[in-house]
Amino acid sequence: MIDWLERMESAFEGLGPLGYLLFAIAYVLWALVLLPESIFTILAGALLGMLWGTVVAWISAVVAAVSAFELTRVALRKRVEKAVEKNAWLKAVNRALPKEGWKVVALARLSPLVPFGLQNYFFGVTKVSRRGYIGATAIAILPGTFIYAFLGATGRALLGGEKGPLEWSLLGAGVVATIVLSLFLGRLAKKRLNIGGG
């Protein structure tokens, strides 16, 4: 596994800025076809490190979110509206949008109940403003992006060689704290939106 990551890292370094661009394009396309973008975010952390992995994944996720939103408003409205009618969570969020707008978008982004990619298309059929959608999305996905990039970077570090008890303890504590934070944010969003499963 570590050999594969090292080969990938070498390939990216050899491409220079083009490598980052290709990674971002692949990330956006992956998210647009509703595959879990968290995989690419973890990979970004493993390949690029926690800081640059977070930056590249965050920018890519925002571009994917805006692309799906605009695609829905231009061409996919009817199909997405049918999907919304079949999902209680999406219907509940849609009811809350007229009163809270961007706040609901931000809370929805923190909730794990509906995948990120599906939310991108869903918000395209709502009355949320483009500015509110983009701003709330960009801010609210940052914690999750950091968490997954951190997991990727941590996983890479764990696979990368011998570590002493102190290093293992710090890495373990970081992973546990990351998981707890992710669960906390999800529960907070669910409570604020007053939405059950669906």
- The predicted-structure confidence for 172-191, as pLDDT tens digits, reads as follows 666 666 566 556 656 655 66
Residue 181 inside a domain? The answer is: yes
* Residue 32 CB neighbours (<10 A): 18
**Domain range for residue 71?**
2-193
Res 69 pLDDT > 80: yes
- Percentage, residues of the chain above pLDDT 70: 72
Tens-digit pLDDT profile for residues 141-184: 998 898 889 888 887 777 665 555 555 565 566 666 656 655 66
Task: Evaluate whether 69 touches 179 at the Cβ level (below 8 Å).
Answer: no
Residue pointed to by tokens 């990216």: 12
Residue 198 inside a domain? The answer is: no
pLDDT at 66: 96
Gyration radius of the chain's alpha carbons? 18
DSSP 8-state assignment for residue 113: S
Task: Evaluate whether 190 touches 88 at the Cβ level (below 8 Å).
Answer: no
Q: pTM of the predicted model, to two decimals?
A: 0.77
**What is the spatial distance between Cα 168 and Cα 183, in angstroms, rounded to a whole number?**
23
**What is the spatial distance between Cα 183 and Cα 198, in angstroms, rounded to a whole number?**
18
pLDDT at 26: 93
Task: Evaluate whether 189 touches 151 at the Cβ level (below 8 Å).
Answer: no
E-strand ranges in 94-172 read none
Work out how many domains the chain is built from and give that number.
1
DSSP 8-state assignment for residue 34: T
Task: Evaluate whether 26 touches 132 at the Cβ level (below 8 Å).
Answer: no
Q: What are phi and psi of 129, to 5 degrees?
A: -70, 155
pLDDT at 173: 64
